[in-house]
Copies of this chain bind each other. A is one copy, B any other.
């Protein structure tokens, strides 16, 4: 198998970004292990800077932009964590950042991006309008576009979470990661492929956003369908760079219901006492759904982020 990303690329990314990110802890829960009858190791990217693994890829990409280009700034479209991550790394490097955000993005996410000093440009919440508005910004500012996932630098950066996990925990049978645009799972699969080829990488996605599942089944990249899945970080479709990696390295994608996602999220909050966003609970939902198959296995789980909208704590 040949990939455009090498083991050296991932190791270099890890060095490149290490002062810009947190090395996140790996937590375990006796109660969850007992419930599943397996050993789970949660890589806690909810504790990552900006509250999500996206800081890894964004840092790795922006740090590789040339000095001349940095002056022009960086731009992206994102309703969520990637936008925050681009804004945060741009702030650290003191360069301009432009983030195109759908007008229906929760206020708290807009405030977070604005808090890092990035300029927010609102667009209508459709794919077409988002790309149109982004292109206008790129034309106007000459900024460098950093795609949220369909970019080797992003995929390589996201791979560093699994790199850390597999360096710390030996003989992992499975790694579970959520599937949105595929940046995290393709990076995870590459890291496992290079470090621990016997480790199987399993993707989990919401039934309401099962484009990756359908893409693997049909062997044709499927577009996203409009969805309101609670796992808002996973609404996007795979990209032309992530799909081929996933096709080669990810044997299986499990799809989970909204209710299963909610139950997994509550289980994490109740038992590990950490805040995770719905997207981050999707892998555990997959394990719980098929727990008989994973009995006595050693399983790494990438908890992708912790940016839960606390306004949903409505009784408080």
Contacts and interface: CB of A to CB of B under 8 A. Distances in A.
A265 interface: yes
Interface in A45-103: 46-47, 51
Interface string A95-121: 000000000000000000000000000
Given A316-B262, A316-B312, A273 B273 contact: no
Contact of A273 (B266, B270, B278, B306): B306
Question: Which of A230, A270, A308 gathers the greatest number of chain B CB atoms within 10 Å?
Answer: A270
Contacts of A262: 316
A298 B40 CA distance: 36
A308 B273 CA distance: 9
A315 interface: yes
A169 interface: no
A312 to B, nearest CB: 4
A220 interface: no
Interface residues of A, number: 22
Contact of A313 (B47, B51, B274, B313): B313
A269 B308 contact: yes
A225 to B, nearest CB: 23
A218 interface: no
A6 B77 CA distance: 61
A228 to B, nearest CB: 13
Interface of A: 46-47, 51, 230, 262, 265-266, 269-270, 273-276, 278, 306, 308, 310, 312-316
Give the 5 A-B CB pairs with smallest separation, nearest first.
A273-B306, A312-B315, A273-B275, A46-B273, A262-B316
Given A278-B316, A312-B314, 20 more contacts: A47-B273, A230-B316, A262-B316, A265-B316, A266-B310, A266-B316, A269-B308, A269-B310, A270-B310, A273-B274, A273-B275, A273-B276, A273-B306, A274-B274, A274-B275, A275-B275, A312-B313, A312-B315, A312-B316, A313-B313
